[in-house]
Chains A and B, each alone.
Chain A
Amino acid sequence: GQNIDQPTEMTATEGAIVQINCTYQTSGFNGLFWYQQHAGEAPTFLSYNVLDGLEEKGRFSSFLSRSKGYSYLLLKELQMKDSASYLCAVREAAGNKLTFGGGTRVLVKP
Protein backbone atom coordinates (compact mmCIF):
# COMPACT_ATOMS: atom_id res chain seq x y z
CA GLY A 1 0.00 0.00 0.00
CA GLN A 2 0.91 3.63 0.17
CA ASN A 3 2.65 5.13 3.15
CA ILE A 4 3.97 8.66 3.42
CA ASP A 5 5.44 9.74 6.74
CA GLN A 6 6.47 13.14 8.00
CA PRO A 7 6.81 14.56 11.50
CA THR A 8 3.68 16.04 13.01
CA GLU A 9 5.16 19.22 14.42
CA MET A 10 8.39 21.20 14.48
CA THR A 11 9.33 24.40 16.23
CA ALA A 12 12.12 26.73 15.17
CA THR A 13 13.35 30.25 15.80
CA GLU A 14 13.03 33.16 13.42
CA GLY A 15 16.12 33.38 11.20
CA ALA A 16 17.04 29.73 11.73
CA ILE A 17 16.89 26.74 9.37
CA VAL A 18 14.42 23.87 9.58
CA GLN A 19 14.49 20.58 7.70
CA ILE A 20 11.25 18.63 7.24
CA ASN A 21 11.76 14.99 6.34
CA CYS A 22 9.39 12.84 4.32
CA THR A 23 9.70 9.12 3.72
CA TYR A 24 7.48 7.25 1.34
CA GLN A 25 6.63 3.73 0.30
CA THR A 26 4.44 3.68 -2.78
CA SER A 27 3.75 1.20 -5.54
CA GLY A 28 4.99 3.65 -8.17
CA PHE A 29 6.81 6.95 -8.33
CA ASN A 30 6.33 9.81 -10.75
CA GLY A 31 7.34 12.82 -8.71
CA LEU A 32 7.25 14.30 -5.21
CA PHE A 33 5.67 17.61 -4.33
CA TRP A 34 5.83 19.93 -1.36
CA TYR A 35 2.96 22.24 -0.53
CA GLN A 36 2.54 24.91 2.13
CA GLN A 37 -0.81 25.40 3.80
CA HIS A 38 -1.61 28.22 6.19
CA ALA A 39 -4.46 27.66 8.61
CA GLY A 40 -7.80 28.13 6.90
CA GLU A 41 -6.26 28.50 3.46
CA ALA A 42 -5.69 26.29 0.42
CA PRO A 43 -2.35 24.53 -0.13
CA THR A 44 0.12 26.41 -2.31
CA PHE A 45 2.81 24.74 -4.42
CA LEU A 46 6.39 24.99 -3.18
CA SER A 47 8.52 22.49 -5.06
CA TYR A 48 8.64 19.43 -7.28
CA ASN A 49 11.30 16.70 -7.52
CA VAL A 50 11.28 13.81 -9.94
CA LEU A 51 15.03 13.14 -10.22
CA ASP A 52 17.49 12.62 -7.37
CA GLY A 53 19.13 15.71 -6.03
CA LEU A 54 18.51 19.15 -4.69
CA GLU A 55 16.13 21.75 -6.13
CA GLU A 56 16.63 25.27 -4.80
CA LYS A 57 14.07 28.03 -4.99
CA GLY A 58 14.93 31.08 -2.93
CA ARG A 59 14.75 30.32 0.78
CA PHE A 60 13.24 26.90 0.10
CA SER A 61 15.10 23.82 -1.13
CA SER A 62 13.88 20.28 -1.64
CA PHE A 63 15.92 17.10 -1.90
CA LEU A 64 14.99 13.70 -3.24
CA SER A 65 16.54 10.23 -3.02
CA ARG A 66 14.42 7.76 -4.93
CA SER A 67 16.46 4.72 -3.87
CA LYS A 68 15.84 5.59 -0.21
CA GLY A 69 12.25 6.74 -0.64
CA TYR A 70 13.22 9.96 1.07
CA SER A 71 12.80 13.67 0.60
CA TYR A 72 13.30 16.74 2.69
CA LEU A 73 12.21 20.35 2.51
CA LEU A 74 14.70 22.89 3.83
CA LEU A 75 13.47 26.28 4.95
CA LYS A 76 16.22 28.85 5.46
CA GLU A 77 16.17 32.28 7.14
CA LEU A 78 12.86 31.45 8.76
CA GLN A 79 10.27 34.21 8.95
CA MET A 80 7.17 34.40 11.13
CA LYS A 81 5.02 34.02 8.02
CA ASP A 82 6.56 30.58 7.44
CA SER A 83 4.46 29.23 10.33
CA ALA A 84 2.21 26.83 8.46
CA SER A 85 1.68 23.16 7.64
CA TYR A 86 3.98 21.62 5.05
CA LEU A 87 2.61 18.75 3.04
CA CYS A 88 4.63 16.10 1.23
CA ALA A 89 2.82 14.39 -1.65
CA VAL A 90 3.76 11.62 -4.06
CA ARG A 91 2.45 11.12 -7.57
CA GLU A 92 2.62 7.43 -8.36
CA ALA A 93 1.66 7.34 -12.01
CA ALA A 94 0.56 9.47 -14.91
CA GLY A 95 -2.04 12.07 -14.21
CA ASN A 96 -2.53 14.22 -11.16
CA LYS A 97 -3.45 11.79 -8.39
CA LEU A 98 -1.42 12.85 -5.38
CA THR A 99 -1.09 10.89 -2.15
CA PHE A 100 -0.39 13.24 0.73
CA GLY A 101 1.40 12.74 4.02
CA GLY A 102 -0.28 13.99 7.16
CA GLY A 103 1.56 17.29 7.06
CA THR A 104 4.13 18.89 9.36
CA ARG A 105 3.04 21.91 11.36
CA VAL A 106 5.93 24.33 11.68
CA LEU A 107 5.81 26.99 14.36
CA VAL A 108 8.28 29.84 14.04
CA LYS A 109 9.00 31.65 17.29
CA PRO A 110 10.56 35.11 17.66
Chain B
Amino acid sequence: KAGVTQTPRYLIKTRGQQVTLSCSPISGHRSVSWYQQTPGQGLQFLFEYFSETQRNKGNFPGRFSGRQFSNSRSEMNVSTLELGDSALYLCASSLSDRDESYEQYFGPGTRLTVT
Protein backbone atom coordinates (compact mmCIF):
# COMPACT_ATOMS: atom_id res chain seq x y z
CA LYS B 1 0.00 0.00 0.00
CA ALA B 2 1.41 3.40 -0.98
CA GLY B 3 2.31 5.76 1.83
CA VAL B 4 1.49 9.42 2.31
CA THR B 5 2.80 11.54 -0.53
CA GLN B 6 3.52 15.24 -0.49
CA THR B 7 4.32 17.60 -3.31
CA PRO B 8 6.48 19.44 -3.91
CA ARG B 9 9.33 18.12 -1.78
CA TYR B 10 11.29 21.36 -1.87
CA LEU B 11 10.19 24.91 -2.48
CA ILE B 12 11.86 28.30 -2.41
CA LYS B 13 9.66 31.38 -2.21
CA THR B 14 10.13 35.07 -1.64
CA ARG B 15 8.73 36.99 1.31
CA GLY B 16 5.20 38.23 0.54
CA GLN B 17 4.38 35.45 -1.91
CA GLN B 18 1.90 32.68 -1.29
CA VAL B 19 2.36 28.93 -1.52
CA THR B 20 0.17 25.84 -1.83
CA LEU B 21 1.32 22.44 -0.63
CA SER B 22 -0.39 19.17 -1.48
CA CYS B 23 -0.85 15.92 0.42
CA SER B 24 -2.29 12.60 -0.72
CA PRO B 25 -3.15 10.32 2.22
CA ILE B 26 -2.91 6.57 2.39
CA SER B 27 -5.80 4.99 0.51
CA GLY B 28 -8.81 4.65 2.82
CA HIS B 29 -7.61 7.25 5.32
CA ARG B 30 -10.10 10.05 5.79
CA SER B 31 -8.20 12.19 8.29
CA VAL B 32 -5.38 14.45 7.17
CA SER B 33 -3.39 16.61 9.58
CA TRP B 34 -0.74 19.21 8.88
CA TYR B 35 2.25 20.04 11.05
CA GLN B 36 5.07 22.56 10.89
CA GLN B 37 8.51 21.49 12.07
CA THR B 38 11.30 23.96 12.84
CA PRO B 39 14.51 23.56 14.85
CA GLY B 40 13.35 26.13 17.37
CA GLN B 41 9.71 25.20 17.88
CA GLY B 42 9.73 21.51 17.05
CA LEU B 43 6.62 19.88 15.62
CA GLN B 44 3.53 22.06 15.85
CA PHE B 45 0.01 21.17 14.81
CA LEU B 46 -1.58 23.34 12.15
CA PHE B 47 -4.97 21.76 11.43
CA GLU B 48 -6.80 18.51 10.78
CA TYR B 49 -9.36 17.73 8.11
CA PHE B 50 -11.82 14.88 8.26
CA SER B 51 -14.40 14.25 5.55
CA GLU B 52 -13.72 17.65 3.98
CA THR B 53 -14.33 19.50 7.27
CA GLN B 54 -11.76 21.11 9.52
CA ARG B 55 -11.99 19.12 12.76
CA ASN B 56 -9.13 20.62 14.76
CA LYS B 57 -7.08 23.79 14.51
CA GLY B 58 -3.76 24.84 16.01
CA ASN B 59 -2.56 28.27 17.05
CA PHE B 60 -1.38 29.66 13.76
CA PRO B 61 -2.40 32.95 12.15
CA GLY B 62 -5.08 33.13 9.51
CA ARG B 63 -2.43 33.24 6.77
CA PHE B 64 -2.33 29.47 7.14
CA SER B 65 -5.33 27.72 5.67
CA GLY B 66 -6.22 24.35 4.31
CA ARG B 67 -8.87 22.28 2.64
CA GLN B 68 -9.70 18.69 1.90
CA PHE B 69 -11.26 17.27 -1.22
CA SER B 70 -13.80 14.48 -1.58
CA ASN B 71 -11.01 11.99 -2.37
CA SER B 72 -9.36 12.94 0.98
CA ARG B 73 -6.46 14.71 -0.70
CA SER B 74 -5.59 17.90 1.14
CA GLU B 75 -3.90 21.18 0.41
CA MET B 76 -2.56 23.83 2.70
CA ASN B 77 -1.97 27.41 1.70
CA VAL B 78 0.23 30.05 3.27
CA SER B 79 -0.33 33.61 2.12
CA THR B 80 1.94 36.62 2.54
CA LEU B 81 4.95 34.48 3.37
CA GLU B 82 7.32 35.58 6.13
CA LEU B 83 10.90 34.51 6.74
CA GLY B 84 9.73 32.65 9.84
CA ASP B 85 7.55 30.39 7.73
CA SER B 86 10.66 28.57 6.54
CA ALA B 87 10.12 25.06 7.85
CA LEU B 88 9.42 21.45 7.05
CA TYR B 89 5.68 21.01 6.52
CA LEU B 90 4.51 17.52 7.31
CA CYS B 91 1.24 15.93 6.41
CA ALA B 92 -0.08 12.92 8.32
CA SER B 93 -3.00 10.66 7.53
CA SER B 94 -4.97 8.43 9.84
CA LEU B 95 -7.58 5.72 9.58
CA SER B 96 -10.04 7.65 11.68
CA ASP B 97 -13.78 7.61 11.97
CA ARG B 98 -15.94 10.15 13.70
CA ASP B 99 -15.40 8.79 17.20
CA GLU B 100 -12.15 6.86 17.14
CA SER B 101 -8.68 7.93 16.17
CA TYR B 102 -5.65 5.86 15.37
CA GLU B 103 -1.98 6.41 14.77
CA GLN B 104 -0.93 8.93 12.18
CA TYR B 105 1.36 8.13 9.27
CA PHE B 106 3.56 10.97 8.15
CA GLY B 107 4.57 11.90 4.65
CA PRO B 108 8.14 12.90 3.73
CA GLY B 109 7.34 16.59 4.07
CA THR B 110 7.77 19.71 1.99
CA ARG B 111 10.83 21.78 2.81
CA LEU B 112 9.83 25.44 2.36
CA THR B 113 12.48 28.13 2.31
CA VAL B 114 11.39 31.76 2.34
CA THR B 115 14.00 34.31 1.25
Contact = CB atoms under 8 A, between A and B. Distances in A.
Interface of A: 30-31, 33, 35, 41-45, 48, 87, 89, 91, 93-103
Nearest to B48: A96
A20 to B, nearest CB: 15
Most buried by A among B99, B103, B107: B103
B72 interface: no
Given A95-B48, A97-B58, A98-B45, A42 B109 contact: yes
Interface string B88-115: 0010101010010101111111000000
Interface residues of B, number: 25
Interface in B34-69: 35, 42-45, 48, 50, 55-56, 58
5 contacts: A42-B106, A96-B48, A96-B56, A96-B101, A96-B104
B108 A41 contact: yes
A21 B44 CA distance: 20
Q: Which of A42, A102, A103 has the most CB of B within 10 A?
A: A42
Contact of B106 (A43, A94, A99, A102): A43
Contacts of A87: 43
Given A42-B109, A93-B56, 8 more contacts: A43-B90, A43-B106, A94-B101, A96-B33, A96-B96, A99-B45, A103-B42, A103-B43
Contacts of A42: 90, 106-109
A96 B31 contact: yes
Contacts of A35: 106
Given A42-B107, A43-B106, A96 B43 contact: no
Contacts of B58: 97
A30 to B, nearest CB: 8
B9 to A, nearest CB: 11
Nearest to B33: A96
Contacts of A101: 42
